[in-house]
Chain A
């Protein structure tokens, strides 16, 4: 069974750094892309970026380029998204999701990680 299990909820202050994770199991981690999707409170879905763990090829939406860093550690089948300096506007639910190709639908999703940034 394909599973994407994300790290737990985080509460941070503006300016702090953060790295959240997405651990994959039940399939070959290096054969699929892992994407990240933001959902701000009460809002819709936003495609942030995607990584191919096999060779770390990474693509970003222009809206998120330079705002976050996506990475992966294939030795532990885990993908990450990180922020160097959080803002209140980063408060959102973040989902990881699996895709067969860089330009394809997401067929499996993690449960989401809620990030709250507040002073």
Chain B
């Protein structure tokens, strides 16, 4: 199985700041099939980015994804109060699909 390692585990930032979240894969992700999800306490995950860089429907353009192979990044250009949450990456290019351990973005 591909192991996804997310860093940092926790990111402490202020509203308006830029957030950069990393997701590293133990082997190359086929076709760059990587997604990012946001999860708030008590709620289901929500799709933000798929295929490494495509924005999901209705997602604000302050969220962007980049990367290929084994290194992927989610960038939130300017943090809004509602963006403080946990973010997970998922690869679905290799079977079985796997998720990273998550990065918590908290208010500094």
A binding-site residues for B, Cβ under 8 Å: 37, 44-47, 59-63, 95, 97, 103-112
Q: Which residue of B lies closest to A49 (CB)?
A: B96
B3 in contact (CB, < 8 A): no
Q: Top 4 closest A-B pairs, CB basis?
A: A105-B35, A109-B44, A105-B50, A61-B96
The answer to whether A109 touches B45 (Cβ under 8 A) is yes
CA distance A44 to B103 in the complex (A): 10
Residues in B neighbouring A109, C-beta threshold 8 A: 44-47
Q: How many A-B residue pairs have CB under 8 A?
A: 64
Whether A106 and B47, one on each chain, are in contact in the complex, defined by CB atoms closer than 8 angstroms, is yes
In-complex Cβ contact of B56 among A63, A97, A104, A107 (8 A): A107
A-B contact pairs, 11 of them (CB 8 A): A44-B99, A44-B101, A47-B97, A103-B95, A104-B33, A104-B50, A106-B37, A107-B47, A109-B45, A111-B44, A112-B44
Closest chain A residue, CB of each to CB of B50: A105
Least CB distance from A37 to B in Å reads 8
Interface residues of B (CB under 8 A from A): 1, 33, 35, 37, 43-47, 50-51, 56-57, 88, 90, 92-93, 95-102
Contact A103 B92 (CB under 8 A): yes
Tell me the minimal C-beta distance from B40 to chain A in angstroms. 12
Known: A44-B101, A45-B90, A47-B96. A105 touches B44 (CB 8 A): no
A20 to B33, CA, bound (A): 29
- Residue in B closest to A95 when the chains form the complex, CB atoms: B44
Task: Please tell me if the beta carbons of B33 and A103 are within 8 angstroms of each other in the complex.
Answer: yes
A37 to B95, CA, bound (A): 15
Q: How close is A100's CB to chain B, nearest CB, in angstroms?
A: 10
Output the nearest chain B residue to A104 by Cβ-Cβ distance. Answer: B92
Cα–Cα distance between A61 and B44 once the two chains are bound (Å) = 21
**Known A103-B93, A106-B45; further 13 A-B contacts with Cβ < 8 A:** A44-B88, A45-B88, A45-B102, A46-B99, A47-B96, A62-B1, A103-B97, A105-B33, A106-B35, A107-B50, A109-B45, A109-B47, A110-B44
